[in-house]
Copies of this chain bind each other. A is one copy, B any other.
Amino acid sequence: MLETLDLKARLGNKACREAMDRLELELPILHRAILEHGIPVLVLFEGWFSSGRGDSIGQLVHHLDPRATRVHVTHASSEEDRRRPWPWRFWRRTPARGRIEVFDRSWYYLLWNQHDEGSLDAARWERELQAVGEFERQLVDDGTALVKCWLHIGPGEQKRRLKAWAKDETQRWRVSDEDWKRHRAYPRRLALAEEMLARTHTHRAPWTLIEAEDENHRRVRVLAAVAEAMRHALEQRGIPVPTPELLPDAAEAGHPLEPIVVADPLKAPPPIPPDSPLARVDLSRRLERDEYAKRLKKAQARLRELEFLCYTRRLPAVVVFEGWDAAGKGGAIRRLTESLDPRGYAVVPIAAPTAAEKAHHYLWRFWNEIPKDGHWAIFDRSWYGRVLVERVEGFAGEAEWRRAYQEINEFERALVSHGTVVVKLWLHISPEEQLDRFRRREQSPLRRHKISAEDWRNRGKWPPYLAAVSDMLRQTSTTHAPWTVVEANDKLWARVKVVETVIRAIEARL
């Protein structure tokens, strides 16, 4: 199969830009439909070392909703993994309905290496290939959209890349002796890969083979493959597939969008009490677009370096995003993660607790999600829900939320004491700015799903929320884990401040 690939394939910058523009519109729309209809999606990336898996995964997740997406790095097996049948580690991570799980390496890498190293004899190799087929068929039969991408480069190109990395101080750690050994065994490993691909290229779980020597070509092919798989999964279920062309047109042509709620329940925004930590926040802070672009680019590049450094020095970090509805948390998180290697961090979205979560201590689910050494966890909302929404809405009793300040401080101290960097960001906007953003969301067909009657209802509770936020900032801003209030009336200012704050906190620890 692989000999059919044209490794000379190149895509010019202009053609690439055009294709990407279209995909960037298409992917979020498709993902929304996938979410809405509860379709599980599993995307796996295989191929040669240095073929651009990391970059492809970064490109991909950047266009997906981080609340329903997760990247799994599976090339290393743990002691727990080795003591069970190999499917165990992958089954555990199979997507729930509506989720996209992205695998960097998979069962293929495991079997490819084991066979290459001689720890799978011929009979076992046969059995395991059959087991792969069974595993994939079971997932597909159950409705999972399975996308298998093989990134292909030739031995010459691989050598060139390994050498370039070995020369670059920030990349050198990526190349091990093992990688060079495998590079020298390229022909033998190619034959094995050929057999493995051919045997597992089935009607219902086909491979997408991607020429990966040209970066433009690879990026477009990867995104297109995933978009195509999502579209196919929707079509199979008879769901009309939204296209970026149709959507805005239909909206403009005679379907003026009605506001969801006409009256604003927060008539006259009350002044912030002078003893609140929010009273002295200067919401007029702003950035011009030129300066924004310059500073953001610089900060993102630095952040990527810090991600590598944290990984090599095994420093974990936790970044907490809290803020008013429509304060721009999602956009800020996207800017923070845009340049990062998705294998080094996870975005953890926090919604209402599940039944299992409700049956435990409220900190239980957060303990479950803390990052391991060398990794970052970015919380989109967090344990502070206990003293914000749960307090205001009465989901937690007064004794419970009053106790929570101490519990949270203790929780964060346990993280810091282990060596974790903890960054906590409160995105602050004025009630007037919030009203403006709500109205604009209602009028945008692409962003209308982001606002509901509940948002308007919450807005009516601005004063009790203000009291809760003020208490939270006063009681949980500790030396080991201080709060940073981000002035967010201007999104450009807010995004740069977020990235720069994270950089400063990590640099202080390194």
**Chain A residues near B (Cβ < 8 Å):** 38, 40, 78-80, 83-88, 91-92, 94-98, 127, 131, 134, 138-139, 141-142, 144, 314, 316, 354-356, 359-364, 367-368, 370-374, 403, 407, 410, 413-415, 417-418, 420
Contact = CB atoms under 8 A, between A and B. Distances in A.
B418 A364 contact: no
Contact of A85 (B131, B362, B420): B420
A375 to B, nearest CB: 9
A83 B372 contact: yes
Contact of A92 (B88, B367, B418): B367
A139 to B, nearest CB: 7
B370 A85 contact: yes
B88 A367 contact: yes
Contacts of A40: 360
A84 B372 contact: yes
A363 B138 contact: yes
Contacts of A95: 360
Contacts of A96: 356, 359-360
A355 B361 CA distance: 19
Nearest to A128: B417
A78 B83 CA distance: 12
Nearest to A87: B414
Nearest to A399: B141
A175 to B, nearest CB: 23
A374 B80 CA distance: 12
Nearest to A361: B142
Contacts of A413: 131
B410 A94 contact: no
A44 to B, nearest CB: 16
Max chain B C-beta neighbours (<10 A), residue from A94, A95, A96: A96
A115 to B, nearest CB: 16
A374 B355 CA distance: 32
Contacts of A79: 78-79
A368 B96 CA distance: 14
Given A83-B314, A91-B368, A354-B356, 16 more contacts: A84-B316, A85-B418, A92-B368, A94-B360, A94-B361, A94-B364, A96-B359, A127-B417, A131-B410, A131-B413, A138-B361, A138-B363, A139-B361, A142-B362, A355-B355, A356-B356
A187 to B, nearest CB: 30
Contact of A138 (B138, B370, B410): B410
Given A79-B78, A403-B141, A84 B373 contact: yes
Max chain B C-beta neighbours (<10 A), residue from A364, A403, A414: A414
24 contacts: A79-B79, A80-B80, A80-B372, A83-B374, A84-B418, A85-B370, A85-B415, A87-B367, A88-B370, A91-B363, A91-B367, A92-B367, A94-B361, A94-B364, A95-B360, A96-B359, A131-B410, A131-B413, A131-B414, A134-B407, A134-B410, A138-B363, A139-B361, A142-B362
Contacts of A356: 96, 354, 356
Q: 3 tightest A-B contacts by CB?
A: A85-B418, A91-B367, A96-B359
A418 B367 CA distance: 32
Contacts of A370: 84-85, 88
B85 A417 contact: yes
Contacts of A83: 314, 372-374
A53 to B, nearest CB: 23
A30 B191 CA distance: 64
A97 B417 CA distance: 29
A417 B126 CA distance: 12
Contacts of A354: 354-356
Contact of A417 (B80, B131, B355, B361): B131
A360 B91 CA distance: 10
Nearest to A141: B403
A88 B372 CA distance: 10
Contacts of A420: 85
A413 B97 CA distance: 26
Max chain B C-beta neighbours (<10 A), residue from A40, A91, A356: A91
Nearest to A91: B367
A419 to B, nearest CB: 8
